[in-house]
Amino acid sequence: MDSATTSQVQLTVNGKPVTLELDTRTSLLDMLREHLGLTGTKKGCNQGACGACTVLVNNRSVNACLTLAAMCQGASVTTIEGISENGRLHPLQEAFIRHDAMQCGYCTPGQIMSGIACIQAGETYSAHAVREFMSGNLCRCGAYQNIVAAVLEVAEQAGGRR
């Protein structure tokens, strides 16, 4: 790669500082998977239509396949690998298990990251609001009812629905 098509990207990923020299066309998804080995973020449609690649950038959900890594200069990125604390599952991961909110599991990382963003945004005042907020995350297995139940449970535990 020549310097005209590369750039240095500095960001924080899952609480750790990262500096990479990347092709300017590298998506955040490819950076995470191919350069950092964080394969929990899934490549589904690679067109922003399925939500399997959802991560948090500065606590907002984004489709990593549509986001250039260079656009994240200085940002804080959180992936599914970064939400557990001290080896303990995130409360939403635990709720997904309790509510059987996954079947094949391919969409699950993106669903969980979107669910966390939904809770943080306070969009949990009704099941309809959760479905609307998470409408960009598709589940081929149809576990939507259980996904919404898991998100609502964690929102309730975190201080109630708004």
Contact predicate 82/14, CB 8 Å:
yes
Number of domain units in the chain: 2
Task: Identify whether residues 78 and 96 lie together within a single domain.
Answer: no
pLDDT computed for residue 158 by the predictor: 87
pLDDT computed for residue 162 by the predictor: 46
Please tell me the distance from the alpha carbon of residue 93 to that of residue 96, in angstroms, as a whole number: 5
Task: Name the domain boundary from 51, 82, 113.
Answer: 82
pTM: 0.94
pLDDT computed for residue 67 by the predictor: 98
Task: Identify whether residues 76 and 95 lie together within a single domain.
Answer: no
Distance of CA 56 to the CA centre of its chain: 5
Residues of the chain scoring pLDDT < 50: 162
